Amino acid sequence: MTTAVERRLITDLERVRRFHQVRHDSPQLAAALDRLALWQSRRLDATYEDLRRDPRYAQAIAFFRGDLYGPGDFSQRDADLERVVPVLTRMLPQQVIETVASAIELNALSQELDQALLDHLGIDSALSVPAYCAAYQASANRRARVRQIALILDVGRALDRYVRKPMLRRTLMLMRHPARIAGLSTLHNFLERGFASFAQMRGGEYFLATIEARETAFMEAIIAGDRAPFADPLA
């Protein structure tokens, strides 16, 4: 019988698969999405420059930027998952599966939000802070933006809990070889990077509270009509 978390994974992997297909069918759109992702990743770099410079948080910011919220290429991880969802649910503890499901939902939602931004920006338009904010506001997707931030926090809080459980960390280490055999190496590497980054922090409360506060403030300011809530990332 398919579990609720399996159904969630399958649904969101289908969302991601459709997005990859759209990218494949339109190189022009794919290039525009890549430009937007790079621009947004540079905004993240500027927003969290203080955390990036702090050895305690640098690894977590790299994970946040590259694996959760930035322009990383998740296609191999998603393909691995789509192929072996039933195997995955037998190999990993339920709580870890739920965290993976949140990460996949975050990936799918972020891509959909980027596509919505481009619908208002235009594929060939130059990116600027005022144009980005106008497109963000015009998209009128506050609920989805709130959900995006909530998913980031869900994944982060779960990882922060897991690193305090030595048995769970040991289980993940012991799974390295079976995961490779099962075709789950990319997913396993994603989880190990997450565990390592939160272990380095020795407590992620300040890190996650900072992300929640800053991302929520940007969201609310842009929706309220602010056209300069942050500096130009390319300046």
Residue partners of 191: CB distance under 8 A and separation at least 6? 96, 100, 172
Which tokens in the block code for residue 212? 């929640």
Give per-residue pLDDT as tens, 53-76.
999 999 999 998 888 776 555 666
Question: Which bin fits 2, alpha (ψ -120 to 50), beta or left (φ > 0)?
Answer: beta
CA 210 to chain centre: 16
Distance (Å, whole) CA 91 – CA 178: 9
CB–CB of 55/207 below 8 Å? no
Question: How much is the pTM?
Answer: 0.89
Backbone CA torsion sign across 57, 230, 69, 165: positive
Which tokens in the block code for residue 24? 């494949």
Distance (Å, whole) CA 65 – CA 164: 23
Identity of the residue numbered 173: M
Among 16, 165, 156, which residue's Cα sits nearest to residue 85? 16
Query: pLDDT 10s per residue in the chain (235 long)?
Result: 678 888 888 888 888 888 888 888 999 999 999 999 999 999 999 999 999 999 999 999 999 888 877 655 566 666 666 666 777 777 778 888 888 889 889 988 999 999 999 999 999 888 999 999 999 999 999 999 999 999 999 999 999 998 888 877 777 777 777 777 666 677 778 888 998 999 999 899 999 999 999 999 999 999 999 999 999 998 8
